[in-house]
Amino acid sequence: MHSRTHPLIAMLLVDCKAPGDAAEREFWQQIESARAPLVEPIDSSHSWVTFIYRLDAGQHHSCVRGIALSPAHSLLPRIGNSNVAAATFRIRNDRRFGYDFVADVPLVDPVTASPAERRALGAHMATHAPQPDRYAARSCVAQFGSASHSEFEMPAAEPQPHFSTDASTRLQEVLPADVGLKTDRPISVYQPSATDSVHPLPTVYVISADGY
C-alpha cells in the first residue's frame, strides 16, 4: 500500500493551498463524477485502488476497514493542506468486498498492541460509528456497527445474481438473538431467480464478515 499516488491526488497536493479552497472543490466535483474508489490497472491480476475520505472539522486521518486487519496498515492520511484523506492499495482484480471508514482511529496493530492500546482502540470504535463511502456506487447492510457500508467489485470479480439484471431477489431480514446471538442481527438474503418453493437450493452459503 501507499507505493502509488493517483494523478488526482498528486494534483491536489500541488494545487490545494487551504482546506476547502477552489482546488479542493474541483477535486470533489471530479470524485462525484468518477465515483470512488478510483481504480488503475497494474496487470491482468492486480490494480491500484485509491480510497478517498472527506475529513470533517477537527478530524486528522481516516482508516478504511475491509482492506487490512490493522488500522496501522489501512491508514488514509490527510493530503497536504486539504480536507482529503486518501491512500492507494494493490488489490487483486477478482475481489469483491465491503468497506467503510473510521476517522482518527488509533493506529495500532491489535495483535501486537499493549492492553492499554487495545482498550483505547475498543473505546474509539465504540464511540465512532464506521461511515460508508459517500461517493461509492453501492451500499448494503453492514455487520458491525454502521447501518450500511459500501461494497465494491473489482474488474475480474465473478458475477453474482444480486449484481445482475435478472429477476434475483434481495431480502432484508433479521436474524433473531434467540438463535444463539447476543442481539438481533440484520442480514441480507439473496435468492436467485431460478429458485422456487418446489425445488430448494442445493447449497446455502453463509458469509459472516463485512468483506469477502
Tell me the CA distances in angstroms from 79 to 93, 98, 151, 204, one per residue in order: 26, 24, 24, 44
Residue 197 has a pLDDT of 67
How does residue 146 score in pLDDT terms, banded at 50, 70 and 90?
A: very low
The β-bridge partners of 87 are: 51
Q: Is the pLDDT of residue 210 over 60?
A: no
pLDDT digit string, tens, across residues 44-99: 999 999 999 999 999 999 999 888 878 888 999 999 999 999 999 999 999 988 89
Residue 159 has a pLDDT of 75
Q: What is the mean pLDDT of residues 32-53?
A: 95
pLDDT digit string, tens, across residues 172-186: 667 777 766 677 777
Which grid cell is 26?
A: 474541483
Q: Is the pLDDT of residue 165 over 70?
A: no
pLDDT digit string, tens, across residues 114-136: 999 999 998 998 898 889 999 99
Strands (E) across 43-168 are located at: 46-54, 61-65, 75-77, 84-92, 96-103, 139-141, 148-153
